[in-house]
């Protein structure tokens, strides 16, 4: 039974990451295309503008929502959230940055390394989670724990 729940969390994390990075990539491609049209240069090398656009999109679509709300759009859609292992509450800004600074490993390796690392970890943590001392959980499980602790009080 635990094995099935664990697979479910990993599957939801993969789906959430695909949704989040699909949004980042679509907006990046759109922004780059508009820039290339305006500049008149259709060269296929990353320029400073494109790099800054990618970092801007990553920060405002992935980092800030995760810090402010504990979820990205992808996580919200699939019903999972990121929590701190310290107190099982929302992440600090430093934890969010630590988690996300290792995103290039996920992106450039198509998530394969992270899927392997998560499947071997008891808390289903990828490298960024281990570094930041965070984990991703089903929102339903959190709601049940909150309801149970409210009933006990």
The model's pLDDT over 62-100, given as tens digits with 9 standing for 90+, comes to 999 999 998 999 999 999 999 999 988 889 999 999 999
Which tens digit of pLDDT belongs to each residue from 25-71?
Answer: 989 888 887 777 777 665 556 678 778 888 999 999 999 999 999 89
User: What is the torsional sign of CA 11, 12, 16, 19?
Assistant: positive
Tally of domains in the chain: 1
Q: What pTM does this model have?
A: 0.69
- Domain limits at 96? 2-152
Q: Residue 118: how many CA atoms within 13 Å on its side-chain side?
A: 24
83 in Cβ contact with 132 (< 8 Å): no
Alpha-carbon span 74 to 76, nearest angstrom: 5
Integer-rounded Cα radius of gyration of the chain: 18
Strand partners, 150: none
């Amino acid at each position: 039974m635990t094995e099935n729940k664990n697979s479910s969390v990993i599957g939801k994390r993969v789906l959430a990451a695909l949704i989040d990075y699909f949004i980042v990539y679509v907006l990046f491609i759109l922004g780059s295309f508009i820039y290339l049209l305006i500049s008149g240069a259709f060269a296929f090398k990353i320029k400073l503008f494109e790099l800054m656009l990618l970092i801007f999109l990553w920060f405002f679509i992935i980092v800030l929502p995760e810090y402010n709300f504990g979820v990205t759009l992808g996580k919200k859609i699939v019903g999972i959230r990121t929590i701190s292992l310290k107190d099982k509450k929302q992440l600090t800004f430093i934890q969010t940055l630590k988690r996300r600074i290792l995103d290039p490993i996920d992106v450039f390796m198509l998530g394969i390394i992270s899927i392997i690392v998560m499947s071997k970890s008891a808390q289903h943590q990828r490298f960024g989670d281990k570094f930041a001392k965070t984990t991703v959980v089903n929102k339903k499980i959190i709601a049940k724990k909150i309801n149970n602790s409210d009933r006990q009080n």
